[in-house]
Amino acid sequence: DIQMTQSPSSLSASVGDRVTISCRASQSITTYLNWYQQKPGKAPKVLIYAASSLQSGVPSRFSGSGSGTDFTLTISSLQPEDFATYYCQQSHSTPRTFGQGTKVEIK
Amino acid sequence: EVQLVESGGGLVQPGGSLRLSCAASGFTFSTYWMSWVRQAPGKGLEWVANIKQDGSEIYYVDSVKGRFTISRDNAQNSLFLQMNSLRVEDTAVYYCASQVWGGPFDYWGPGILVTVSS
């Protein structure tokens, strides 16, 4: 199974900050990497697919990069509605696996 | 508008069974792979199982193999998860989600809580 490791597990940031979340795969997944945002009590929502493609309707302040084993989600200017938990997920192999999540909290 | 709505959750004793359903609308259900993804209370996301458009390919996470069965009815735009021999560690919110093979889980239901407890 492919293990997905996110860092950090949590972070505190202020509105307007640039935020970066990292995700590492235990083996190469080329660009089969997706990012989700989840708010408490809600289903996850896809933000980025194929490592760097922005899902329709997602604000352009979200961006993704990387290939192989190392990936990054960047929020260019954090907004109040962005405080949530973020997950990476690989769609290269079965079983599909998620990172453990990164909780973005208000500083 | 795309909608996925889960039903069939609840409280069950260890060793018991439950059947989850997911009703789909607003998209061509028969053209999508479908998955179940779960989230234990306060924990992260775990993919459980998926099924190809015509049901000819099915995959499970190791922890549910032999206990859970995923199925679908394209005529009724419905996805199912039969859960047998339930364990305390199966307690979670269960989401149904659509996916394109190799792509993300793009549409999700709101989730349904399954609690396994004596």
pLDDT, tens digit (0-9, with 9 covering 90-100), for B62-79: 999 999 999 999 999 999
For chain A, list residues with pLDDT below 50. none
In chain B, count of helices (H) and strands (E)?
A: 0, 11
Residues of B in contact with A42 (CB under 8 A): 110
Do residues B34 and B47 lie in contact, with contact meaning Cβ atoms separated by under 8 Å? no
Q: How near does any CA of chain B get to the CA of A43, in Å?
A: 5
Q: Residue B29 in 3-state DSSP?
A: helix
Tokens of A10: 């949590």
Residues of B in contact with A96 (CB under 8 A): 35, 47, 50
In the predicted model, what is the mean pLDDT of chain A?
Answer: 97
CA B86 centroid distance within chain: 14
Using alpha carbons, list the distances in angstroms from residue A4 to A33, A65, B7, B56, B62: 10, 16, 30, 28, 17
Tokens of A74: 């960047």
pLDDT recorded at residue B101: 86
